[in-house]
Structure formats: C-alpha cells, structure tokens
Amino acid sequence: MATEAGVVTAAVRRISTGTVDDDRSDLLAVEEPLEIRLGLSIGGRIEHRPISITMRTPGADLDLAAGFLFTEGIVFSRDQIERVRHCGISDKIKNIKNTVVAELAEAVEIDFKRLERHFYTSSSCGVCGKTSIEAIHTGARSIAVSERPRVSSAVIHSLPASLRQSQEVFESTGGLHASALFSAAGELEIVREDVGRHNALDKVIGAKFMAGETPLSNNILLVSGRASFELVQKALMAGIPILAAVGAPSSLAVELA
C-alpha cells in the first residue's frame, strides 16, 4: 500500500451484478493507532507516561493530542503545555508517526489514578475506553446566556454544504467523519477529518487551544455524524455555544446540552 495525507491506495475487486468483475486500485482512509503520552518533570528528570491510545487518521496529530488533553479535563490552560511533538514510527505504513508526547510545564500536577480510565479509545466511540460512569464527566461548565450568539436559521442550514465542500479526504475515500468551526455569520474557520468523530473534534479544538483562542464563545460547531454525548461534552469544554449535526442526537446528548 502507498499512502499520503491520510489516504492509502489498495488493490480491490469491484463486483457488480451482470457485469464482469473489475480489478482496480482504490483510495481508503488510513486508520492507525496513536499513543498519547505526557512528558513530566519528576525528580529533575523528564519521564513519559502513556495516557491514551486512539484509532485515528494521521494528520494534525499534535492538535489531536492537545485537544484530547483539554476536552478530557487533563489540562485546562495553554500555558500548562510546554510543547507537543511526535516520537516513534509506524511499522506498517512508512513515515507515519504513531506516538505523540505532550510535555507539561513543571508545576502541573496530574491525577494518574483518574487517567487510568482514558487508556484505550476506539475510532467509533471515545467513551468506550472509559472504565466507569464517573469517568465520562470532565468538569464542563454551563455556557451563560450572555455568551451565546444569535444565529439565523439560514446560517445553520448553509453549514452542511460548506462542510461537504471542504472534506477533501472524504471526497476521495467516502470513509471519514468531519468537524468544522464556523463564525456566527457562517464563515468557515477550520475543518478537520478523521475516522473517529471524537478525534475530528479534538483536532479542531486542539488547534484553537494551542493558538490560545479558547473559549470559542462566538462560534458554531458542525459535525458530520450524529450528535453524541461525548461531542456535546467536548463542545462545552471548549465553550462552544452552538452545536449542529448532520445526524440525529442521542437522548443523553440532548440532556447534557
């Protein structure tokens, strides 16, 4: 397989009723594990502690790691992270780096017992890796009425078409979720794609968090799939007042919102 920008070329056989089988190459969305580690200063030495493994599409990995740390309530401000960097190479697909370490500021204290609940996350459901009901609560706060922009229905209905035009990897593979951040006027600011809908959102929020632009109190978030509890919770952590989704919400997502 050859790969670039989150896409891999694979040999396939297309089978159609009443026609000759067709051997050709096709483009697939890459799914690879990413291990997220914390870099901590302990006794004057830097130590790496693994905290999560998620199945993701390579690309914007540093933003993904930062967004995960922020939306999961592990860090709360930009100055708690000194830097985020790659380390380690995939054995399966050339040049894909599958480990990221977030090096924390010296004064940051981490509750490692709480972090045990985060260790494995599948691409389909970020909550699956958490081993207790209590672990799904990250300390998200309510968004005050004064922090909620007024947005017309026309703007909301214009967002899916704008998102669809920006989904470059989905266009070639048909196999990715997307999250996009818009201004209150409906102008697209950032879009990210991933096999995991929670990863796509962490990539968006992580980019804004590392740029020091959170909370995102004047933005609209659009997600390509359904609105799950976890996506609502991540939006709340980032201070996003409006979440729109192409798919339907779950009952718990509505309750939390």
Active-site amino acid positions? 125
Ramachandran region, residue 174 (left: φ > 0; alpha: ψ -120 to 50; beta: rest): left
Please give the structure tokens belonging to residue 127: 């909550």
Using CA atoms, how far apart are residues 138 and 133, in angstroms rounded to an integer? 11
Place of tokens 């799904």: 136
DSSP string, 73-142: TS--SGGGEEEEEE----SSSTT---EEEEEEPTT----HHHHGGGSEE-SS-GGGG--SGGGG---PPP
